[in-house]
A and B are shown apart, each in its own frame.
Chain A
Amino acid sequence: MRSIQPRLACAIAAASLGLAPRLHAATQAPGVVAPAGVVAIERPALPAGLAEYFLAQEEERPHLRNYRVLDPLMGDPRAPSFDDAERAAASLVHRRLGVEGLLPTAARALDALGGQAVAPEDLERRLARVGVPVDLVARTTPPGTLVEIRARLAAGEALDALCADLAARPLVYTPTIPGFVLASESGELPLERVRVQLTRDTDFQGVGDGGALDLVRSLAEALPELEFVVHAKDEHCAGLAKEFAAWPSARRERFVLFPQARTVSQWAQDAVEYGFAPDAHDPLGREGWLLAPRHASRGEELGTLAPGDELASETYAAAGARLARSPLVFQGGNVLCAVDPKTGVRWLVMGEAELHRNVALGLPRDAALAALRAEFGCQRALVLPANSFHIDMELSLRAHQGRLVALVADTGAASRAVLRCALPGMQAAGVMTPEEAAAVREHLDANRPAEAAERFNEALGKAAVGPGRFPKSFAEHFGSGPADSGVGNLQRVLLALDLLLAEMLSDPQAAGINPETALYLTSLRRRELQRLQVSQALAKEGFEVAAVPSLSDARRSLATVNGLHGPDIYLMPVTGGFLAGFDQSAQRAFETALPGVRVVPVRSGETLRRAGSLHCAAFSMPKP
């Protein structure tokens, strides 16, 4: 754990109130007119070599699974140069770690490295070098476990018998931050401060596009008191400072900008978690902690490194934020914490990938689940299947009027709402008459999806220039202006029609549709079935399930559930423009599910087209 100097801790506490004495001279980006104190630019002094460490990294999978950021033993993601024994041991660790577990694999690796030929004081280094997560051994077993394994090998104990004995040994995880509890995201905590990462200093298409910058603009408009911690590459900071200074702001130092040498991704949610822990300095646990994973990653299965995002976290820590690094692997967007208002039980709801990644590190399933629960200070855990990508694209949790509500995607309602929005575009493009559009609307309203889909499909066929291919001039009829992507909207319309077809056709293969399309529709049906199973699992655990129009399908998503909760408010991502009618139907559904909660739209269109949304991009750091 990073030791925190009291001076730095005090400074960041003051910073959280917007009163920060600067730890290092705050510098103004060249050419920026002082924005009446709304923007502060911080360049904390980084530890020697830190920026270079992350600048040198590729956005690839680390060669060995035990890679841990900045770790003296396991901190190099590149392939090491092995001798024959090490190569054999590394291969063995790769194949055994996730199957046989941490301790048996350590024993086999040690045996492959020569057993007692490895000096006791060199055990950790040699094992770490071939991929054993020795830090996890230290965190889950009594001191001296590796020395004991070496001694038993040296005493001639049969390897398989030793491994069987070690596999039966319980692994009891010690949390990284004693007493740490993950900040709940179910609406109890105020939305006061968010951390965002901006990939550029201009809009993708224009004001209103819901891209990285416009999402922050919209968020700043929605909550005039909200503070922003902003990370961006150096070259974007002057432009960003200028931009922020031009926005109406209710407070000084509303935007604290941290320039860095490497670009960031937009996904501030994924590289760290946030929570609270009492300690000697802060007995009531009022100061937040950032808890970083073993290494920040993006993507599915084992994920690829995100060095720019790591540099952002470390830069923030260098400015005084309290950051600890876990030996576990997780992506923040795939982990949600909610508190049941009736029982006070703190729930950890996570996507299955987080569990599998930690099993792959050598923790048996139950031990991995217990470790994640302990690390995040939660009493109960629920693991959900990877229906789309992260679970925050699938559902949102909210404590409301004594109930714990799970807001899940109602794909059927969403697809119908999108198709309704599409009708004016179909008319404008000349592929549907007003009468035909009215007929489709009537079929949708009367819940006659087959008739609606058939008519819609026929009309689309007039515009197609190949199987599922449409000219850009046609797509332009689905946009409402330069900041509203007609291409993106048409792709959502095509998805909505496919979803409707998948809903209707119990056996697409037998319906005379060509095979590749039938397989696609079958896959969509399977996904919907899994979503139903998720809803049933949530209901079984006592969550009240409320369905709201929301679509999660990578770059074609309209994930209204990917928002942020605060007391009496839900910030809902919207696309606006051509699909404003869809947004409105979702807003009504949220208002019905959460009476008394103000549902506030935040523009997220271009962010959604990059397979994320508001929750992925804005990392809330409330105060308890």
Chain B
Amino acid sequence: MQGPAAPAPSAAFEAPLEAALKNVKEQGVGPGTLAEVGMPEPYLRRVAEHVMRASFEDNFRIVVDDAHAAQASPPASAPTPGAGQGGSAAWAVGVAVVLLGVATVLVLRRKS
């Protein structure tokens, strides 16, 4: 990897990751939650990153039927690859989509 280390990200920036971590920890396991099982935080954080990345890919790195594509709006705000920059409204929508996706990915993730 090139370049200096990244500065510490802000709390708002990391919100989807923190949401994923919270969801991972709050999963029901028998009489309680996963958070109570005693698995180390760095591991659960790595799991949360898997969930967050999968959620992002499921929402922003996808192929859609051409019929849906025809109805879609042009890429006014589009994350890379293949688009421009989103403003704060796009960010809010993006975060909401990723947060929603996190919950879905938590349910679905496993080798299929």
Contact = CB atoms under 8 A, between A and B. Distances in A.
A301 B44 contact: yes
Contact of B16 (A65, A475, A516): A516
Nearest to A507: B6
A372 to B, nearest CB: 16
A616 B110 CA distance: 13
A468 interface: yes
Contact of B78 (A87, A298, A466): A466
B68 to A, nearest CB: 8
A400 B16 CA distance: 44
A612 B110 CA distance: 10
Interface in B17-34: 17, 24, 27, 29-32, 34
Q: Say what secondary structure dominates the interface of chain A.
A: helix
A153 to B, nearest CB: 22
A331 B5 CA distance: 34
Interface string B34-69: 101111101110110110111011011111111001
Nearest to B62: A469
Interface in B95-112: 95, 97-98, 109-112
A515 B54 CA distance: 16
Nearest to B6: A507
Given A464-B78, A470-B62, A516 B109 contact: no
Contacts of A97: 37-38
A225 interface: no
A464 B34 contact: no
Contact of A300 (B47, B75, B77, B78): B47
A616 B111 contact: yes
Contacts, number: 255
Nearest to A502: B1
Interface string A92-111: 00110111000000000000
Contacts of B64: 465-466, 469-472
Contacts of B54: 554
Interface string A468-499: 11111111000000000001001100110110
Contacts of B47: 300-301, 386
In the complex, which of the residues B85, B91, B111 has the most CB atoms of chain A within 10 Å of its own CB atom?
A: B111
A302 B56 CA distance: 24
A506 B4 contact: yes
Interface string A109-126: 000000000000000000
Interface in A46-84: 61-65, 79
Contacts of A461: 75, 78, 81-84
Given A468-B60, A506-B3, A300 B37 contact: no
Contacts of A505: 3
Contact of B82 (A299, A359, A468): A468
14 contacts: A61-B29, A91-B31, A94-B36, A300-B50, A302-B37, A360-B38, A460-B82, A467-B90, A468-B79, A469-B60, A470-B62, A491-B57, A515-B95, A520-B56
Given A385-B42, A471-B69, A520-B53, 20 more contacts: A64-B31, A301-B37, A302-B29, A359-B38, A386-B47, A389-B111, A461-B83, A461-B84, A464-B75, A467-B78, A470-B64, A498-B61, A498-B81, A508-B6, A512-B85, A514-B94, A515-B86, A517-B94, A519-B16, A519-B56
Interface of A: 61-65, 79, 87, 90-91, 94-95, 97-99, 131, 265-267, 298-302, 304, 352-353, 356, 359-360, 385-389, 456-457, 460-461, 463-475, 487, 490-491, 494-495, 497-498, 501, 503-510, 512-520, 522-530, 532, 553-554, 556, 610-612, 616
